[in-house]
Amino acid sequence: MKKLIYVLILAVVALAAKGQSGDAKTVLDRMSTTYKAMAGFEISFVQKNFSEAEVIARTAGSASVAKEKFVLRIEGQQIYCNGPVLWTYLVESQELTISNFEPEEGAINPANIYDIYKEGFTYEYKRQDNINGELVDVVELISTDEDADFTNIVMYIGQKDAYLKAWDLIDYDGAKTNFEVSAFKPDQAFDAKYFEFDEEANPVQHKEDLRNE
């Protein structure tokens, strides 16, 4: 009888694990579908760098995204990407670098964060949690690439709207960087030129074009 009970417990645990895996994919797919349905969106966020459990740095940033195009503003940098070309502008020194946009697998940018789980990661459902009064599903992505910048990405996805509320990036040393969304504007429309750096509107003291190298 004890042996039968033990076998039944193992079966229940196995089914629970299978259910969590299925839940993870459902949650991630719903998030991906939600963002892909938008023409564009704007996001403001707070980045926190941790040393063990202590916050050692805090930075505010923002991003505008339309499909594969994005503008990222953080720590005195403005990064523009219209798909094939990337402009990196340092505001204080007025330096501009232009390059081809050739992201590596597993590399994270504002235009792919909601789709990154589809290649180079396994994933599992962790738990239900609460962020600023909103219920979220917590899903952990585990990198399968030994050369990836991060081993794990923990996503906090809203149960009500499938929006990404926060995410943690964890590197090989266990150091964590947390991003929490402070404002989100869905269904935004942008002119195509919005994602290209405007040299007439921004002073440039030094420019380096790496596209032909």
Beta bridge pairs of residue 55 = 50
Q: How far apart are CA 112 and CA 94, in angstroms?
A: 28
Let me know: does 151 contact 167? Beta carbons within 8 Å. no
pTM, 2 dp: 0.84
Element of type H or E holding 23: helix 2-36
Contact call for residues 156 and 135 (beta carbons, < 8 A): no
Cβ pair 177, 153 in contact under 8 A: no
Q: Of 167, 170, 171, give the one whose Cα is nearest residue 181.
A: 167
- Average model confidence (pLDDT) for the chain? 86
The answer to whether residue 60 scores a pLDDT higher than 50 is: yes
Structure confidence by residue, pLDDT tens digits, 19-51: 344 499 999 999 999 999 999 999 999 998 888
* Contact of 96 with 88, CB cutoff 8 Å: yes
pLDDT given for residue 82 in this prediction: 95
Closest listed residue to residue 163, CA positions, set 128, 106, 114, 126: 114
